[in-house]
Structures are given as structure tokens and as C-alpha cells.
Amino acid sequence: MKVFHGSYLTIETIDLSKSQPNKDFGQGFYVTKNRRHAEDRAKTVGRKHHTEGVVTEFIYYDSSFTERICKVKRFATYDEDWLDFVVTNRNSLSSMRDYDIVE
């Protein structure tokens, strides 16, 4: 499936050292299936960096990231488990880093 990342520059290589802590799903590289969401994010971040913003497209293969290879946390809905996860990541000095992928 296609996923999108909104930024102030084109992403050639994902570099997790540039990601910020205390985000909703922890420190990491964020993508969305919704191109419009990525475009809005690119505009917002672009303004901060005095650029137009850029949306980078990636192909994400679910089958490449099986739970045998990666620790995956999936939320089916915005429930109490989801809320606890987000609040912990936003407020904690140590985010919930037990997962490679959070959906």
C-alpha cells in the first residue's frame, strides 16, 4: 500500500535519529495512508522552515513486517488502550519503545 510522509524536504533515507521524542506513538518515523493528511502536515512544517513542504511517498508491504520479524502494536479503534498509549508517550521521559511499528 502507498503511505505518505509530510515534511519540509524530500526524504531519501529514513533517519530515526532526527525524530523527536514524546510524540503520540513514540519517537519514530510517521506515515499516513491519507495523502491529504501528509499534504497538510507538509504545509505546516514547511512554513516553519520557510519552504513549500514536500510529501514523500513510500510503498509499505505488510508482509515484510510480520510479527515474527517486528514487534507490532495495532489499535483497532480509539479506545482506552489507545489513549493510555498516546498519553504515556506524550508525557513520559521514556516512551513505549517496545514496538517497531505502531498502527
One-letter identity of residue 10:
T
In the block, cell 505488510 appears at 62
Predicted confidence pLDDT, tens digits, the chain (103 residues) = 899 999 999 999 988 888 887 788 878 888 999 999 999 999 999 999 999 999 999 998 877 777 778 888 889 999 999 998 888 888 875 555 678 888 8
Per-residue pLDDT at 68: 74
pTM of the model: 0.76
Give buried/exposed letters for 42-59 (b at 16+ CB in 10 A, else e). beebbeeeeeebbbbeee
- Of 80, 61, 77, the residue nearest 69 (C-alpha): 61
